[in-house]
Structure 1
Amino acid sequence: MSTVSGSNPLDGLHWQKEPDYTETESNRGMLTQADFFALMTKELSHQDPTAPVDNNEMISQMTAFSTTDGVQTLNDQFTEFASSMSSSQALQASSLVGRSVLVDDNVFGMNAGDSVKGKLVTDEAASNVNIYVENTAGEIIQTVPVGNVPAGESNFTWDGMASDGEPAAAGAYRFRIGGLVDGQASELTAMTYRKVDSVTLAGSGGKILLNLNGGTSMALSDVVEVSDG
């Protein structure tokens, strides 16, 4: 009895498992340009020879995908631009430490012996103008006569002295400016210069905050003017 030996045709066959595809939030439901052309090629290979796909329809599909792809690219570029702008603003804000910024607010904090600069704003010329410095209780601790002012903005400085000739105590105060406009008693707008003590780069809502003397903060975008003094 003879024995016939031979090789199994399956012996040399090797199986390789395809790598698992992991779905992430970034690729969920998204088609790439390669996916689009693969689908289009599949569509062309299965089209009815007697009724081929119209060229205009193919061009329309390609244009629509290119537009969508372009919008996504634009969004990515805008995100990078916004990040660059935030870094630039952070650098700008850090350079303000130790300098004074003009705030559209008449309330300020000060230390004893400090002087405070401000700016009064009026749309029309005013006469008999006085600057009243009030404490948190609304008491007038000093009156600074100004006289006549033209329309526009005028700078002023309070030396930090109370009406009794002594330095005002450290604390919070506000400027109130009154005068006559066309013969009528009017209150004029007051703004103050505040010194920047430090900067918070990631404040509330992601804004860059300037921490001012007196314990208050303001957004970098609210700065009206920057001064050296």
Structure 2
Amino acid sequence: MSIDTTSYYDSLVQSSAPDPVTITTDTEASSLTSDDFITLLLAELQYQDPTEPVDNSQMVDQMTQYSQLEQMTEMNEKMDALTESLGAMTASNGLDYLGKQVEADGSTISVSGDSISSLYFELPEDAASVTCNVYDSNGTIVDTETYSELDAGISAFTWDGTDYNDDTASNGIYYVVVSAQDSNGADIDVSTTTTGTVIGISNTDDGIILSLDDGRTVNMLDVTYATS
């Protein structure tokens, strides 16, 4: 009787081989952690084929990858801490505006009964015509005011609070779009600003938002002037 030594050796290896290494991770994890990486590396060393050990160059590559993973993890942690620190610092700076009158880039006006806030627009040059379109919160145009022959500089737009039908506008926040043309009919860039007293602050995804006493809000980054 003859025995196939190759088949016999293979059966011994298969029967004595350890169970494969499994790594359990949180179902919410989307990538390997540094601990997972080390576990895989140690498993590779433990269960490598003695007749074909891991090549030195492969080992160096894997250790380099691990080092890079560690560095990226530490960098992400430091960036998160820095972001939180900057956010807290910015929110603290916003407290300085409480109770102050501020001027900020914006195009909103507030209507509350007979009280209607003013909007200011600045012309870099003389304008032959200026048009101010008033929109409600739904984006519907409710009124239009026009001016002619305005000098360069800052002018105030004060709305009387009535629409095209001379009906009184409802209370709320409205948006004003200002456009201007020179004597040749060419468009002129117009910037608009709003003013109000800050009564509250909030930290949002868009930054620090200042709440004004008439219900409007402005981004702290848009503030151009504040009373001392």
Cα distance change on mapping 1:93 and 1:196 into 2, 3 Å: farther
- Counting aligned pairs with the same residue, the percent is 17
Letter in 2 for 1:138: D
Letter in 1 for 2:143: G
1:91 and 1:189 map into 2 onto residues whose CA distance is 33
Larger helix fraction of residues: 2
Cα distance change on mapping 1:68 and 1:26 into 2, 3 Å: farther
Structure 1 counterpart SS, 2:143: coil
1:89 and 1:211 map into 2 onto residues whose CA distance is 16
CA deviations 1:78-118 (Å, max 9, x no partner) are 1111111211221122212223132231x323787898462
| Counterpart mapping for 1:186-225 below 5 A | 189-203=190-204, 205=205, 207-221=207-221, 223=222, 225=224
Structure 2 counterpart SS, 1:195: strand
Cα distance change on mapping 1:49 and 1:88 into 2, 3 Å: same
1:178 and 1:30 map into 2 onto residues whose CA distance is 55
CA deviations 1:24-43 (Å, max 9, x no partner) are 6799985545x755764564
2:97–2:226 Cα contact (<8 Å) kept: no
**TM-score, normalised by the number of residues in structure 2:** 0.57
RMSD: 4.5
2:129–2:148 Cα contact (<8 Å) kept: yes
Cα distance change on mapping 1:157 and 1:25 into 2, 3 Å: same
| Higher Rg | 1
Please, which runs of 5 or more residues in structure 1 have no aligned partner? Answer: 1-22, 163-170
1:214 and 1:70 map into 2 onto residues whose CA distance is 50
Cα distance change on mapping 1:202 and 1:25 into 2, 3 Å: farther
| Counterpart mapping for 1:58-207 below 5 A | 58-97=59-98, 98-105=100-107, 107-109=108-110, 116=118, 118-122=120-124, 125-128=125-128, 138=143, 147-149=150-152, 154-157=153-156, 180-184=181-185, 189-203=190-204, 205=205, 207=207
Aligned length: 189
Find the counterpart in structure 1 of residue 16 from structure 2: none
2:189 and 2:26 map into 1 onto residues whose CA distance is 59
1:88 and 1:30 map into 2 onto residues whose CA distance is 33
Moved over 6 A (4+): 23-29, 110-115, 130-136, 143-146, 171-176
**TM-score, normalised by the number of residues in structure 1:** 0.57
Cα distance change on mapping 1:198 and 1:45 into 2, 3 Å: same
Cα distance change on mapping 1:138 and 1:188 into 2, 3 Å: farther
Please, which runs of 5 or more residues in structure 2 have no aligned partner? Answer: 1-24, 137-141, 161-170
